[in-house]
Amino acid sequence: MSRLFPSSRVSRFLVAASSLLLCNFPLLAQSLPPPVVGALRVAHIPQQNVGVLVLDADSGTRAMVSTNVSQPFNPASVMKLVTTDAALELLGPTFSWKTQAYVDGSLNQGVLQGDLIIKGGGDPKLVMENFWLLLRQLRAAGLRQISGNLVLDRSYFADNVYDPSQFDGDPQKPYNVGPDALLLNYKTIAFRFTPDATTNSVTVTTDPPLAGYAVTPPRLSAEPCPPDWQSRLMLGNDAGAAAFAGTYAADCGPRSWYINPYRMTHVQYVGQAFQQMWADLGGSFSGRVVNGLVTPSARLLAQWQSPTLPEVIRDINKYSNNVMARQVLLSLAAELGGQPGDAVNGARAVRAWLNDKGIDTAALAIENGAGLSRIERVSPMLLGRMLVQAYRSPLMPEFVSSLPLVGYDGTMRRRLKSQGVAGQAHIKTGTLNDVRSIAGFVQAASGKTYVVVFLINHAAAPNGQKAQDALLQWVYENG
C-alpha cells in the first residue's frame, strides 16, 4: 500500500492560523437572490428547509449569500466531497491500491501444488479488465494448473455484516452493493437481453461471465415494450442462478439490466469470476474457493496496482459512485488507523482532519461517506469552509477537476446547457427522495471564483432543482 502523503502534516501546520481565522470569521446573513426565492416559492419549499452559502473563494470570508449555514442537513451524495477531499489530502495524489497474488506451495512446470492466495487491498476500481491483467501476469509467470484452493484474503477491511436492503428495501440496486477489500467489478452483473422473433426466444448473457452461474431466460412476448420492462421479467435472484419467470417484449430490442446479486457473497462472486476467466486463459483449477489469509510461507507472484487516487475520485464525484466512496472511507481507516478498516474509524479520521483545519465538526455525521444514508449530516458552513481550503490547496486542480462540469459531464451534463454558467462551474450533486444538494465552485463572468453550497431537505425537494440552477446562474452573472 502506498505511504501516507507526507506533506499533509506540513500543510496542516502551515494553514493552521489562516484556517482558524476563516472558520471563526462571523458571516452576516445575506438574503437569497430573488430568482432563487421565486423558484423555491413555486416549488413549495420553505426557506427554513434550505441551507445556502456563497463565499468568495479568494477571501473565504465575504459571503454573497448566507442562509441557515450552521444548520445540519442531509447532504446526500454531496457528502462524497468530504470523503474524497480528505482522502486526497491525507493519502496524497500518488496513492494507489494493490491487489496481490501469492502462491503457497511448490510451482513446477506450470503446476502449483498448493494454494493460490489473492489479497485484496480495497481497490475501488478493480474492474474485470484489470482483474484479467492480474491473472494474465500469473499465466506469464508460468502458473497453469492450481491443485490447491483459491484463498481470498479480505482482511484489509473489517468483515462486518452488511444488509443491502437496509437503505431503501431494494437490495438488487447496484448502488446498494457493500464495500469489500476484494471488491471486483463493483459486484454487479449485467444481464444482456437479445430477442429473436424467428425462434420466438430471448438470449440472455451475463457480464461478467460467471462459472456455474445458470440463467433461465424469460419468454418472448409480442406486446409493445413497456416502461416497466424490468419488473415484467420477474427475476429470481439466487446465489448461484438467475431465473426470469416473466416475459420480455420483442419490441424492446437488445437491452441491458445491471443488478446486485445480493444473495451471492463477495467470495462467491470473485470465485466464480476467477474460475471462468482462469479457464478462458487456458488454466485449470479443481479446488475450492475459501476465505482466508496470506500465510507466512506464501510468496508474491503477481500484483495489480490501481489508478492513482485523483483518477478514482474523478469517477466517484462525476458519476456519484457509492460503493467506490465507501471503499475510500474504509481505506482511510485502514491506512491511518491500521487494518482492518471500518466506517467508524474512517469517519474518525475525516473528523480529525477537519478539526486539524480548524473547521467545526459539530454538525457532521458520517455513516458511510457516500451520502447513501438517512443519518449523514453536514452544515453549509462546514462544506463551504472545507471547499475554500480545497481551493487554496496545492491539490486544488486534482480535486476541482473531479467534480462534474456544468452542462458538459457527470451528473451535471444535462443541466444549464444553454446558460452562461455552462462550462464555468464544477458542481457535485446529491439526490435522495427528500434531498436535493449541490456544492462546488463557480467562476463568475467577472473572473472571480465562488464556493457555492445549496442543500434542500424537504418532501418537495425534487422540485428544487430550478432554484439551485437559478443560484448557479445568478452567481455567474453577479459574482
| 3-state SS class at 361 | coil
Answer whether the bond into residue 310 is a cis peptide, omega within 30°: no
Greatest Cα pair distance, the chain, in angstroms, is 77
Residues facing 243 on adjacent strands:
216, 236
pLDDT at 15: 44
Answer whether the bond into residue 35 is a cis peptide, omega within 30°: no
**What are the two backbone dihedrals, phi and then psi, of residue 101, each rounded to the nearest 5 degrees?**
-120, 125
Q: Report residue 85 as a C-alpha cell.
A: 477531499
Q: What is the distance between the alpha carbons of residues 369 and 324, in angstroms, rounded to a whole number?
A: 10
pLDDT at 29: 59
Q: What is the distance between the alpha carbons of residues 118 and 301, in angstroms, rounded to a whole number?
A: 10
pTM, entire model? 0.94
* CA distances from residue 306 to 96, 138, 289, 330, 451 in whole angstroms, order as listed: 6, 17, 24, 16, 31
The alpha helices in 4-148, defined as continuous H runs, are: 7-14, 16-24, 34-43, 79-91, 128-140
> 49, 9, 57: which is closest to 443 by C-alpha?
57
| 3-state SS class at 226 | coil
Residues facing 259 on adjacent strands:
189
Candidates 1.20.140.10, 3.30.420.40, 2.40.110.10, 3.50.80.20; CATH matching 98-162+264-305: 3.50.80.20
Q: Report residue 84 as a C-alpha cell.
A: 474524497
Q: What is the distance between the alpha carbons of residues 372 and 393, in angstroms, rounded to a whole number?
A: 28
pLDDT at 21: 45
Render each residue's pLDDT in the chain as its tens digit; 479 residues.
444 444 444 444 444 444 444 444 556 558 999 999 999 999 999 999 999 999 999 988 899 999 999 999 999 999 999 999 999 999 999 999 999 999 999 999 999 999 999 999 999 999 999 999 999 999 999 999 999 999 999 999 999 889 999 999 999 999 999 999 999 999 999 999 999 999 999 999 999 999 999 999 999 999 999 999 999 999 999 999 999 999 999 999 999 999 999 999 999 999 999 999 999 999 999 999 999 999 999 999 999 999 999 999 999 999 999 999 999 999 999 999 988 999 999 999 999 999 999 999 999 999 999 999 999 999 999 999 999 999 999 999 999 999 999 999 999 999 999 999 999 999 999 999 999 999 999 999 999 999 999 999 999 999 999 999 999 999 999 99
The CATH architecture that domain 34-94+309-478 belongs to is 3-Layer(aba) Sandwich (3.40)
> 345, 326, 284: which is closest to 138 by C-alpha?
284
Residue-range domain boundaries for the chain: 34-94+309-478, 98-162+264-305, 189-259
pLDDT at 338: 87
The residue type of 479 is: G
Q: Report residue 252 as a C-alpha cell.
A: 424492446
Q: What is the distance between the alpha carbons of residues 176 and 170, in angstroms, rounded to a whole number?
A: 8
Cβ–Cβ < 8 Å for 411, 111: no
Q: What is the distance between the alpha carbons of residues 278 and 128, in angstroms, rounded to a whole number?
A: 12
